[in-house]
Structure 1
Amino acid sequence: MLDDNLEIQQAVKIYKALGEPTRLKIAQLLTEEVNLCCSEIKDKLESVAGSTLSHHLKQLTDCGLLDLRKEGTYIYYRVNREIARKYAPYLLE
């Protein structure tokens, strides 16, 4: 039963994160292009301020949908395909 509750909580976090249009665009972008840093994502989205983008990336990372990799002062993001397959398979189509 505990596992079911944890899965439900994770699903709610993921769906809540993807319910915001900018975060959905970010997730879709990162399914097409992996390992983008914040500035590359910002350039591709164009209409998002840097501080707002950082907030969106944190939300997507906290719910488990994005993985990050630090390299020097840069942080690179990619979609966690296992989580996406389980909770948001339409992102991978």
Structure 2
Amino acid sequence: MTDDCAVKVYKALGEATRFQIVKMLSKQPELACLEMANQLNIAANSTLTHHLKPLLDCGLLAVRKEGTYRYYSLQREVLEQYAPALLED
């Protein structure tokens, strides 16, 4: 992966809410938007989307659509390369 990719990953993880999203997903295989919003006390869907987009763009998250729901999962190999300590618990 390129330096540009590393910068995007670290920039995305540098924001507290995004960091929390990654930590949550490191403990669970996948989460729906509603579950994440409830755990993070985020009321607006747009706020959650604002945080998910950079995580998707840098390759840290994958999304699976099922009907009207979207389920997010962690791309563990990307996290292992750039921030393996987040996978330890």
Task: Give TM-score, length-normalised by structure 2.
Answer: 0.92
Q: State percent identity of aligned pairs.
A: 53
Equivalent residue number for residue 41 of structure 1: 36
Structure 1 stretches of 5 or more lacking a match?
1-5
AA at the equivalent of 1:53: L
Q: CA RMSD in A?
A: 1.2
Which stretches of structure 1, 4 residues or more, deviate above 3 A after TM superposition?
none
Kindly name which structure, 1 or 2, has the bigger radius of gyration based on alpha carbons: 1
User: Is residue 42–residue 48 contact of structure 2 (8 Å, CA) maintained in 1?
Assistant: no
**Cα deviations across residues 8-64 of structure 1 (Å, max 9, x unaligned)?**
000000000000000000110011112111111001111453211111111101110
Equivalent residue number for residue 56 of structure 1: 51
Query: What is the distance in 1 between the residues matched to 2:80 and 2:61?
Result: 12
Structure 2 stretches of 5 or more lacking a match?
none
Aligned partner (choices 77, 80, 90) of residue 75 of structure 2: 80
